[in-house]
A and B are shown apart, each in its own frame.
Chain A
Amino acid sequence: MKLNVKNEEKGTLVSVTGRMDAVSSPEFEKELGRLIDEGNVNFIIDLTELDYISSSGLRSVLITAKKLKGKNGRILLASLQPVVKEVFEISGFSTIIPIYESVEDAMAAL
């Protein structure tokens, strides 16, 4: 898994490449935790290049969302591949974390 962080006008854009599994997900949680500690509270997560996610990946997204809820922040997911979207739908996470078709759509909603 690779993370690319970019500061945009309305928030922080984090692009995730590769796989979010039990090995790599703690890294996502740690990096997002660091960005939150630095004062970032509005995130768009670009998942265009994310090929795979397991329950460990969802867990790290949920932990991040819970941290942000306490700071009145937001985390929006954008551009999910079908297999990744399916995991969010099966788990019901798609009803608690907003999902957008594209980064542009998410940016407009932030």
Chain B
Amino acid sequence: MKSLKLSALIENLDQFISFVHKCSVECGFEGKKVMEIELAVEEALVNVFNYAYPGGEGQVEMRCALEEGKKFVIEIRDKGIPFDSLSRPDPDTTADIENREIGGLGIFFILKVADEVRYGRNDDTNVFTIVFLV
């Protein structure tokens, strides 16, 4: 298991993306799939940056591991307020330009590209898990 822990700030997005890029390539992913992994991770992290620590600062940890030789498991962990982004309704992807909501698409993208997505609260920690099959 590899791990990277940094302050939950947008300035650290590039470091997290480089980290997951490297881990996914090491696990054998390439091309478009690597982009999809980066997309899922960016969307999940941006939620943490925006909502986990209202009015304060905290950290976010990303863990990457290859399980059973075929599951690339990414865990995003923070000690912010409980936040289950998976419980939000899907955005309306058919609305016209005036009625189109800005936002709400991030989780929708994660669910589209990943093979498995889970949210859990362990004691004081939010654990958001994204799985891609190798």
Question: Residues of A at under 8 Å CB distance from B?
Answer: 21-23, 51-52, 54-56, 58-59, 62-63, 65-66, 69, 82-83, 86-87, 90-92, 95-97
25 of the cross-chain contacts (CB-CB < 8 Å) are: A22-B10, A22-B13, A23-B10, A23-B11, A23-B13, A23-B14, A52-B35, A52-B39, A54-B109, A55-B43, A55-B103, A55-B109, A62-B97, A63-B102, A66-B97, A69-B97, A82-B32, A83-B35, A83-B36, A90-B108, A90-B112, A91-B105, A91-B109, A96-B96, A96-B97
In the complex, the chain B residue whose C-beta lies closest to that of A55 is B105
In the complex, the chain B residue whose C-beta lies closest to that of A69 is B97
**Chain B: interface residue total (CB-CB under 8 A):** 28
| Residues of A close to B78: CB separation below 8 A | none
| Residues of B close to A56: CB separation below 8 A | 42, 46
A54 engages B97 (CB within 8 Å): no
A87 engages B39 (CB within 8 Å): yes
Question: Residues of B at under 8 Å CB distance from A?
Answer: 10-11, 13-14, 17, 32, 35-36, 38-39, 42-43, 46, 49, 93-98, 100, 102-103, 105-106, 108-109, 112
A90 engages B109 (CB within 8 Å): yes
| Residues of A close to B106: CB separation below 8 A | 54-55
| Residues of A close to B11: CB separation below 8 A | 23
What distance in Å separates the Cβ of B24 from its nearest Cβ neighbour in chain A? 14
Take A21-B13, A22-B10, A96-B97 as given contacts and tell me if A91 and B32 are in contact as well, using a CB distance cutoff of 8 Å.
no
B32 engages A66 (CB within 8 Å): no
Take A55-B43, A92-B94 as given contacts and tell me if A62 and B100 are in contact as well, using a CB distance cutoff of 8 Å.
yes
